[in-house]
Amino acid sequence: MLKIENLTVKTNGKEILRNFSISIADGEVHVIMGPNGSGKTTLSYALAGHPNYAVSGKIMLGKENITALPADGKAKKGVFLAFQNPVPVEGVGLLNFVRKARAAQGEPADKDIMKFMEESGKQAAKVKLPDAFLNRDLNVGLSGGERKKSEIMQMLALKPKLVILDEIDSGLDVDALKTVAKAIDGALDGKRMFLIITHYANILKYVKPDYVHVMLDGRIVKSGDAKFAKEIEKKGYEWMRE
Ligand SMILES: Nc1ncnc2c1ncn2[C@@H]1O[C@H](COP(=O)(O)OP(=O)(O)O)[C@@H](O)[C@H]1O
Ligand SMILES: [Mg+2]
């Protein structure tokens, strides 16, 4: 399970999260909603080990304290973050990136390349990303929707324990949303934990959350179930402020 206790996160000398706590049991899907600037992306970065975010408090993944691990250390322990705005990386092909990342996870270097390509093709197909994209540089020249699909393809390939999706549904058209959401739902295996950050209840038609939390000014102010997401969509956040 994931247990975050009293997480305080600072960047550029500014405290953005203060005493943030949440527990996610194996197999659970938690959703975080909240207005712009409430600290959702900061939370994702802190969990993924972004070097510009100073973290105190405790992040336990299973029995391991991963609080102080850098980004690659957290990734090796099974933390995966799909970025709100995936950036283009010139010179790094998607397939090569995935292969290197899997090698870093401990996959033997002599793993059959044809088998790897076949698996990657299947993972890309799950998000309807044509094979040609596997050989293109990461996010270079990709539309917003294609970048989000690429993030999910990487998630399927890396098989993380904890999946953090920062606004994976923003910028997706209705068909792409359905495709991506179904791929996420297909990745639920009763063990893998999901933290889904979103503004919309739409994605929850396909991925059933166990809990929906609202984040305001760096902390959770209210939690509920799937129905709560619908209520938030209708009523907004301001009424929860007092
Ligand atoms: N690098 C940074 N330097 C200064 N302020 C930042 C930085 N990153 C985020 N913030 C501030 O922290 C707050 C939370 O931002 P963010 O985590 O991106 O919110 P959300 O994802 O919920 O929209 C905002 O007020 C934002 O301006
Ligand atoms: Mg954000």
Beta-strand ranges (E) seen in the chain are 2-11, 14-24, 29-33, 54-61, 64-65, 79-82, 89-93, 137-138, 162-166, 193-197, 211-216, 219-224
Q: What is the rounded average pLDDT of the residues 45-69? A: 98
Number of domains observed in the structure of the chain:
1
Q: How far is the CA of 83 from the centre of ligand 2 (A)?
A: 9
Q: Which of 9, 36, 42 to mutate to test the pocket of ligand 1 (most atoms within 8 A of CB)?
A: 42
Q: What is the rounded average pLDDT of the residues 230-234? A: 93
Question: Ligand 1 within 6 A of 39 CB?
Answer: yes
Q: Which of 115, 117, 167, 110 is nearest to 144 (CA)?
A: 167
Query: 140 pLDDT exceeds 90?
Result: yes
Digit-coded pLDDT (tens) for 19-55: 999 999 999 999 999 999 999 999 999 999 999 999 9
Q: Which of 10, 20, 41, 44 to mutate to test the pocket of ligand 1 (most atoms within 8 A of CB)?
A: 41
Cβ neighbours for 1, distance < 8 A, ≥ 6 positions apart: 23, 24, 25, 26, 60, 62, 193
Confidence bin at 242 (pLDDT 50/70/90): confident
Query: 143 pLDDT exceeds 80?
Result: yes
pLDDT at 109: 78
Task: Find tokens 């129905």 and name the residue.
Answer: 227
Q: Which domain holds residue 176?
A: 2-240
Burial 70-105 (b: 16+ CB within 10 A, else e): eeeebbebbbbbbbbebeeeeeebbbebbbebbeee
Q: Which ligand is nearest to the CA of 165?
A: 2
> Which atom of ligand 1 is least distant from the CA of 215?
22
Q: What is the rounded average pLDDT of the residues 64-75? A: 97
The CATH number linked to 37 is: 3.40.50.300
Digit-coded pLDDT (tens) for 155-202: 999 999 999 999 999 999 999 999 999 999 999 999 999 999 999 999
